[in-house]
């Protein structure tokens, strides 16, 4: 009778979704997971497109019989990412679904019936507050965490050693600050290993000393070839709150930023090879009079804010947590040198945007005054020569050179940018299923927001299952 070795072990991805955890695992082990389970046909269709050799179960995790599914094979790793919406603080005060909150009990079923050597679970940090609900289906504060510790205790009773931590995706090379709760349980007597961070804040001593790589900035996942439409003159004006957020962001990330992130526009358009760092000499930023500059930042439409209440961020930092709806937009402040009659309205417009009277400057100034509420600047009917006054709102000084905001553009981030922000490989298929059927953008964004950033799974598997890791960190071509 053939003896089953560790190399014969299989890997199972429960709640597989669009394939975030499966992709991270594959980057580590060099091949697709053996089994993927998810009730959502759209999620399974995307998973099949990228993991065609995986055995897929399009059904509830509760209806899958672990014994029949594994067919006598040993399970080296069982990964679980149960629905987190009914734990997340993003749900607010809405009633919770007890059944969805109870999905993690499936871990005990697999542990009892097929005894995976290693179990990994991913969820929001609030998963640790799992407890009973009252009649209105709201968590009972006095019993916070009771169910979680009961569940965890039952897993320990099955012979598993358990540890848990909260990890940040940016620490492992993903361009997102997404924080998640992770639990690792194993029954083979080997120690649980937590992966060491590979990246850190660019200002930290570890990065300066070369011990860590700098966080991957949001700027690297933005497709700079996509134009930003001006916020002015739109047929349907932006919402009042959106305009206020843009104004606050312009103030923080453009006007008052000590290190604005500068992108260059020239005669050939706005492309990656023309980008210039603010840390380069000024002459390389504005080498000719026909060049203008764009200072971009990201605006958010959900509750995550900075300490000063600004709902946005610089693109020099990893993107904040993504969710399943399209709530992240790119805002670009087009700025011009004070001694040039220049105006820019679109990232890819030709050189004829140079005009004699930059009317957008007055429009932008009026916009900033209205939405930020500061008594600085000028009315758009005042003479143009007052624009160059240094105490005026909208003036940006970069290495001693004065610039004036001329226009502001905004667009929503596209699905391929969001998937890149989560750390997915560039060749991951997101716009069609395994049969070639096209996905609408809303479906793509939903798959992305619910996905596990692959760098999480890759780091955890490499740390705890090195004997299975033959992958080189590259994702093979999908069908």
Check residues 295 and 146 and name the one with the higher pLDDT: 146
Residue 429 pLDDT exceeds 90: yes
Residue 473 placed within a domain: no
Average pLDDT of the chain to the nearest whole number: 78
Q: What is the pLDDT of residue 338?
A: 56
Q: Tens digits of per-residue pLDDT, 100-124?
A: 778 899 999 999 999 999 999 999 8
Instruction: Give the domain-ending residue among 413, 430, 459.
Output: 413
Q: What is the pLDDT of residue 383?
A: 42
Residue 180 pLDDT exceeds 90: yes
Q: What is the pLDDT of residue 90?
A: 52
Q: Tens digits of per-residue pLDDT, 442-458?
A: 888 888 878 899 999 99
Do the Cβ atoms of 430 and 439 come closer than 8 Å?
yes
Same domain, 95 and 141: yes
Query: Cα–Cα–Cα angle for 305, 311, 317, nearest 5°?
Result: 75
Same domain, 326 and 457: no
Q: What is the pLDDT of residue 402?
A: 74
Q: What is the pLDDT of residue 193?
A: 98
Residue 375 pLDDT exceeds 50: no
Q: What is the pLDDT of residue 321?
A: 64
Cα 444 from Cα 46, distance rounded (Å): 9
Residue 256 pLDDT exceeds 70: yes
Q: Tens digits of per-residue pLDDT, 85-96?
A: 655 555 455 666
Place of tokens 């599914």: 69
Residue 258 pLDDT exceeds 80: no
Other beta carbons less than 10 A from residue 245's beta carbon: 22
Q: What is the pTM of this model?
A: 0.80
Residue 12 placed within a domain: yes
Q: What is the pLDDT of residue 3?
A: 43
Q: How many domains does the chain have?
A: 2
Residue 314 placed within a domain: yes
Same domain, 119 and 30: yes
Q: Tens digits of per-residue pLDDT, 7-59?
A: 589 999 999 988 999 999 999 999 999 999 999 998 999 999 999 999 999 99
Q: What is the pLDDT of residue 421?
A: 85
Q: What angle, rounded to 10 degrees, do the helices at 41-50 and 441-449 form?
A: 80
Residue 211 pLDDT exceeds 90: yes
Catalytic residue numbers read 84
Cα 214 from Cα 197, distance rounded (Å): 11
Other beta carbons less than 10 A from residue 97's beta carbon: 14
What are 201's two structure tokens? 């804040």
Instruction: Give the domain-ending residue among 372, 398, 413.
Output: 413
């Amino acid at each position: 009778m053939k003896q089953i070795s560790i190399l014969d072990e299989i890997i199972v991805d429960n709640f597989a979704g669009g394939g975030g955890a499966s992709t991270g695992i594959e980057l580590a082990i060099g091949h697709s997971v053996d089994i993927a389970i998810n009730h959502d046909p759209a999620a399974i269709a995307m998973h099949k497109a990228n993991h065609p050799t995986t055995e897929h179960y399009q059904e509830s995790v509760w209806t899958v019989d672990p014994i029949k599914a594994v067919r006598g094979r040993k399970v080296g790793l069982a990964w679980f990412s149960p629905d987190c919406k009914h734990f997340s603080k993003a749900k607010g005060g809405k009633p919770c679904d007890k059944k969805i909150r109870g999905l993690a009990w499936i871990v005990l079923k697999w542990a009892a019936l097929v005894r995976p050597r290693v179990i990994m679970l991913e969820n929001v940090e609030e998963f640790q507050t799992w407890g009973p609900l009252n009649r209105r289906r709201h968590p009972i504060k006095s019993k916070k965490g009771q169910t979680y510790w009961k569940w965890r205790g039952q897993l320990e009773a099955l012979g598993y050693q358990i540890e848990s931590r909260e990890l940040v995706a940016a620490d492992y090379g993903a361009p997102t600050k997404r924080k998640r709760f992770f639990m690792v349980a194993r029954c083979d007597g080997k120690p649980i290993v937590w992966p060491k961070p590979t990246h850190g804040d660019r200002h930290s001593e570890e990065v300066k000393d070369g011990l860590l790589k700098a966080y991957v900035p949001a700027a690297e996942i933005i497709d700079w070839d996509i134009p930003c439409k001006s916020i002015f003159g739109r047929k349907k004006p932006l919402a009042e709150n959106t305009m206020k957020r843009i104004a606050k962001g312009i103030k923080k990330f453009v006007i008052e930023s000590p290190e604005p992130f500068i992108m260059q526009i020239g005669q050939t358009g706005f492309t990656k090879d023309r980008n210039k760092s603010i840390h380069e000499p000024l002459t390389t930023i504005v080498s000719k009079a026909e060049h203008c500059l764009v200072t971009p930042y990201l605006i958010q439409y959900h509750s995550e804010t900075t300490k000063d209440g600004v709902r946005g961020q610089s693109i020099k930092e990893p993107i904040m947590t993504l969710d399943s709806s399209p709530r992240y937009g790119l805002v670009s402040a087009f700025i011009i040198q004070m001694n040039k009659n220049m105006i820019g309205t679109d990232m890819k417009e030709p050189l004829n945007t140079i005009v004699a009277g930059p009317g957008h400057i007055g429009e932008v100034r009026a916009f900033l005054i209205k939405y930020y509420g500061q008594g600085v600047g000028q009315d758009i009917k005042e003479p143009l020569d007052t624009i160059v006054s240094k105490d005026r709102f909208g003036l940006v000084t970069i290495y001693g050179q004065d610039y004036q905001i001329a226009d502001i553009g905004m667009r929503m981030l596209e699905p391929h940018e969001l998937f890149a922000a989560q750390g997915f490989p560039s060749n991951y298929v997101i716009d069609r299923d395994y049969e070639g059927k096209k996905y609408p953008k809303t479906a793509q964004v939903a798959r992305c927001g619910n996905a596990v950033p692959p760098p999480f799974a890759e780091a955890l598997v490499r740390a705890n299952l090195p004997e299975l890791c033959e992958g080189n960190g590259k994702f093979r071509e999908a069908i």
